[in-house]
Amino acid sequence: MAIIKVWLDESEDECTSCGLCEGIAPEVFEVPDKMIVKEGVNFSDYEDEIREAAESCPTEVIKFEED
């Protein structure tokens, strides 16, 4: 299954801007003030990193969708 969408879901908790996701997958995530998912990224190139970032996120706000 390929990852087709990645987003920040703060419906239950907020991003703490810890930078862990950016450290794991700087090609996908950026943390200027709050985590953002970079535009134009081919998520299938970074699936392992996206999964690791989502699993490592202390507030569990990184979500992704697979096809």
CATH number of domain containing 9: 3.30.70.20
Structure confidence at residue 1 (pLDDT): 84
Number of domains in the chain: 1
Listed residue (14, 26, 13) closest to 53, CA to CA:
26
Range of the domain at 60: 3-66
- When pLDDT is averaged across residues 40-59 and rounded to a whole number, the result is 97
Structure confidence at residue 31 (pLDDT): 95
pLDDT in tens, 2-48: 999 999 999 999 999 999 999 999 999 999 988 999 999 999 999 99
Q: Taking the model in full, what pTM does it have?
A: 0.93
Cα–Cα dist 30/19, whole Å: 8
Listed residue (51, 48, 49, 25) closest to 36, CA to CA:
25
